[in-house]
Structure 1
Amino acid sequence: MRVPFGNVKSFAAAAVLVAAAAVVPAAAPAASASAAAGTPPQVYGAWQCSNDACTWATVRDMADFDQANHWLIDRGDGRPSVNLVVLSFVNPLTLLNGTTNSGNTNGVPVGMNQAVVNYFTSHGIRVMLSIGGITYTDDWNTALSQNPTLLGQKAAALASQLGVGMEIDYEQSAGPNTAGLQAFIDAYRAAHPYDASGADPTARLTIDVAAGDRWLIDLDQYATANWLTTSKPVLDYANAMVPSKQPSASGAESNWQEHLAGKSNYSPAIPPLAPAKFTGSLYIAEGSQVRPECTDFPSSVTSGTSAWTQGAAPAGAGTTTGMLGYMFWAAERPSTRGVTTTPPNSCEGGVGAGATALTVPVPMPPLRQN
């Protein structure tokens, strides 16, 4: 879960997740292989929130944007710190309605423009846009009830316009409109079919699920069973989002193991998810704290989980070892309160050093499919 604006609805959802995350296994299962023998991350990305708590409601001065975010394109030796940036967030209802106002043009935040996309792609970094976020959950529900097919078509047209992929961040914890979301995905895929090669950036379509299997349960079950299989993939992969606060290494591994194993005791059961079909997420800045994820890779949870994630074995789905990679929440200013990842808190020593230590490929290679 991510809390972009610090509003009442976000904190209420955070409280739900704190309760859901309170019961975790005492110890995470051991990794099936060492990091040396495991699979290096293929996805190593950051959600990007601009300077206004994820609204992107102003056009950025690109010199200022570079000063605030240079660490993303340069880990200190000229190589990018990440191979993916996800610009967060597009309001799904605003996109459906094609709203033009002070912060949007034809339904798209004015700050999510070609200049920002090119800033990253010119350095070999893939770009996606995230539709939703917890603040826009009600707007997802409204848009899916009104015209999910048109919403999917508009998302596909936006992907074509900017040359980007799309992420579904629909955080409806109970009774999500999966039929509407299916129609959205069908419409998007009609324009941009699944591309196993990864060559077409507009064909990249992903979804966010909870840190483990005990929140967003209905969405998790439906997505795992219908969209994230290795035999007939519809979405490229899922992101297991951050929990309410930075987990310990063992806590993170326990959450991610839930996706690997599924929940056979649920009705309907959540099937196992192939390691190659999801990433795990961690904070780089959280509240008033800059995490070691940003500044000190050797002491970070990323480092502490790296052997486990690279050696994570299939537990009922998939054939290859190792999770797909890591995502980090969030670059620049993810909330109106709290720290940012702008200088002096830029993240070359955390995310950037991790890219070197984990031999992250830039640009992103074709992703494992099984």
Structure 2
Amino acid sequence: MHTGRFRTLSATTLLVAAALTGTAAAPAQAARASAGSATAASTTSPIQVYGAWDCGNDECTWGTVRNMTDFDTNNHWLIDRGDGTPSVNLVVLSFVDPLKLLDGTNDTGDVNGAPVGMDQAVVNYFTSHGVRVMLSLGGVTYTADWDTALSQNPTLLGQKAAALATQLGVGIEIDYENSTSPNLTGLQSFISAYRAVHPYDATGADPTARLTIDLAAGDRYLIGLTQYATANWLSTSNPVLDYANAMVPNKQPSTSAAEANWQQHIDGEPQYSPPIAPLAPAKFTGSVYLAGQPQVLPECNNFASSLESTTGSWLQSAAPGGAGTTPGMLGYMFWAAETPSARGMSTTPPNTCQGGVGIGSTTYAVPVPMPALRQG
């Protein structure tokens, strides 16, 4: 399951923590978090990334070749919000097992280490409508396989990920959720190997050059990964990765909790040792749940009551907190299209998401195809 587990701390908790540690940063963060939308800057930036993870019809394994008629029935809302324009400008097919990719596994569900359902027909289904496609490498289920692959041959893994991107004409998302002892040396080797094949492309013209990473909803989970990624891969002066996704927390947050989570990335955590540096708003997206819950969510079918509506003004105007120069986060990611869980609701008919995600796309004039992204 794709989840950035994070427990939101209240402003009061942050103030108490500051008193105990003697830091001055926590009260400032608490004040900003509690102020919510009232602290929004007077200038805004338009949403550029408006995407959905897609788990296929088998809880994110993509273990069978899809019948494209059935695939269209289940996913048509993604490419048509009701007026012929896509509801999103990005789809991330989730997930590829990094160890199977390294080993080049061929079995009933994989070919050369990639799920058989993630084929050219599925990619073309979206790209033919101007929707960018990426593959998510990892997910929490494959954390141990990430660890093994990075310990065995991270350079070869990066080369194989780059080759898969070339084969399908897609980008790659890193979803490595080791919260205690991530292999950052190995992950650096993976990224360096990928970038040796597909260099950073600020124009966005080369889809295979799009390389992103998933971080937690806020800064208090995946701490080691966040420290390293923010300092070394997500700067505006020397970017290595295109951007990060602040993942969903363990349940759908309130408006104020979502904004507080995202504010943590913007502010950083200077009291940590080593500190987490501030992250430019232009270098990350915020994520909300779309499906996989016991009931249909407003984020799917009722834009007026959805988080993509109630956080929209804040997200587009969030001011830099020490990194970057332009206001506003890049946009939204939605977890997740089709069937992310056997126990929760899907986004297949009759529960398609034109009424939430689709109306949001219209409301925010989401550009399709995705334009060159803000770099600072």
Amino acid at match of 1:369: Q
Matched residue SS, 1:293: helix
Match of 1:369 among 366, 372, 375: 375
After TM superposition, the structure 1 = structure 2 runs for residues 168-187 of structure 1, keeping only pairs within 5 Å, are: 168-187=174-193
Partner of 2:215: 209
Name the CA distance, whole Å, in 1 between partners of 2:191 and 2:374.
21
After TM superposition, the structure 1 = structure 2 runs for residues 328-339 of structure 1, keeping only pairs within 5 Å, are: 328-339=334-345
Amino acid at match of 2:11: P
Q: How many Å apart are 1:28 and its aligned residue? A: 4.5
Partner of 1:25: 11
Partner of 2:132: 126
Partner of 2:2: 2
Partner of 2:290: 284
Structure-2 change in CA distance of 1:286 and 1:336 (3 Å): closer
Q: How many Å apart are 1:359 and its aligned residue? A: 1.1
How does the TM-score come out when normalised to structure 2?
Answer: 0.92
Name the CA distance, whole Å, in 2 between partners of 1:227 and 1:28.
30
Consecutive unaligned residues of structure 1, counting only runs of 5 or more, are 4-13
Match of 1:156 among 151, 155, 162: 162
Amino acid at match of 1:2: H
Name the CA distance, whole Å, in 1 between partners of 2:106 and 2:10.
45
Name the CA distance, whole Å, in 2 between partners of 1:341 and 1:212.
26
Q: Could you give the per-residue CA deviations for residues 44-85 of structure 1, whole angstroms, max 9, x where no partner exists?
A: 000000000000000000000000010000000000000000
Match of 1:325 among 328, 331, 336: 331
Name the CA distance, whole Å, in 2 between partners of 1:357 and 1:320.
22
Segments of 4+ moved more than 3 angstroms: 28-31
* Alignment coverage as a number of residue pairs: 354
Matched residue SS, 2:50: strand
Q: How many Å apart are 1:22 and its aligned residue? A: 4.4
Name the CA distance, whole Å, in 1 between partners of 2:172 and 2:35.
32
Percent identical pairs in the alignment equals 71
Amino acid at match of 1:302: E
Match of 1:41 among 34, 39, 47: 47
Match of 2:68 among 59, 62, 78: 62
Name the CA distance, whole Å, in 2 between partners of 1:189 and 1:24.
39
Q: Could you give the per-residue CA deviations for residues 257-303 of structure 1, whole angstroms, max 9, x where no partner exists?
A: 00000000000000000000000000011421211110000110110
Q: Could you give the per-residue CA deviations for residues 313-360 of structure 1, whole angstroms, max 9, x where no partner exists?
A: 000000001000000000000012111000110000000000001111
Partner of 2:57: 51
Amino acid at match of 1:23: L
Name the CA distance, whole Å, in 2 between partners of 1:212 and 1:28.
17
Partner of 1:312: 318
Partner of 2:306: 300
Matched residue SS, 1:280: strand
Name the CA distance, whole Å, in 2 between partners of 1:31 and 1:329.
27
The answer on whether the counterparts of 1:28 and 1:251 sit within 8 Å (CA) in structure 2 is no
Name the CA distance, whole Å, in 1 between partners of 2:246 and 2:285.
6
Q: Could you give the per-residue CA deviations for residues 120-175 of structure 1, whole angstroms, max 9, x where no partner exists?
A: 00000000000000000000000000000000000000000000000000000011
Name the CA distance, whole Å, in 1 between partners of 2:296 and 2:156.
40
Partner of 2:281: 275
The answer on whether the counterparts of 1:33 and 1:307 sit within 8 Å (CA) in structure 2 is no
Partner of 1:190: 196
The answer on whether the counterparts of 1:24 and 1:255 sit within 8 Å (CA) in structure 2 is no
Match of 1:250 among 250, 256, 271: 256
Amino acid at match of 1:25: A
Q: Does 1:262 align with 2:240?
A: no
After TM superposition, the structure 1 = structure 2 runs for residues 8-19 of structure 1, keeping only pairs within 5 Å, are: 17=5
Name the CA distance, whole Å, in 2 between partners of 1:277 and 1:289.
32
Q: Could you give the per-residue CA deviations for residues 176-212 of structure 1, whole angstroms, max 9, x where no partner exists?
A: 0000000000000000000010000000000000000
Partner of 2:80: 74
Q: How many Å apart are 1:32 and its aligned residue? A: 2.7
The answer on whether the counterparts of 1:28 and 1:257 sit within 8 Å (CA) in structure 2 is no
Q: How many Å apart are 1:243 and its aligned residue? A: 0.1
Name the CA distance, whole Å, in 2 between partners of 1:80 and 1:290.
21
The answer on whether the counterparts of 2:291 and 2:336 sit within 8 Å (CA) in structure 1 is yes
Match of 1:232 among 229, 232, 238: 238
Q: How many Å apart are 1:24 and its aligned residue? A: 3.3
Amino acid at match of 2:174: I
Amino acid at match of 1:198: G
Matched residue SS, 2:134: strand
Amino acid at match of 1:186: S
Name the CA distance, whole Å, in 1 between partners of 2:133 and 2:11.
35
The answer on whether the counterparts of 1:49 and 1:333 sit within 8 Å (CA) in structure 2 is yes
CA RMSD of aligned residues (A): 1.1
The answer on whether the counterparts of 1:84 and 1:126 sit within 8 Å (CA) in structure 2 is yes
Amino acid at match of 1:209: L
The answer on whether the counterparts of 2:292 and 2:343 sit within 8 Å (CA) in structure 1 is no
Name the CA distance, whole Å, in 2 between partners of 1:112 and 1:24.
41
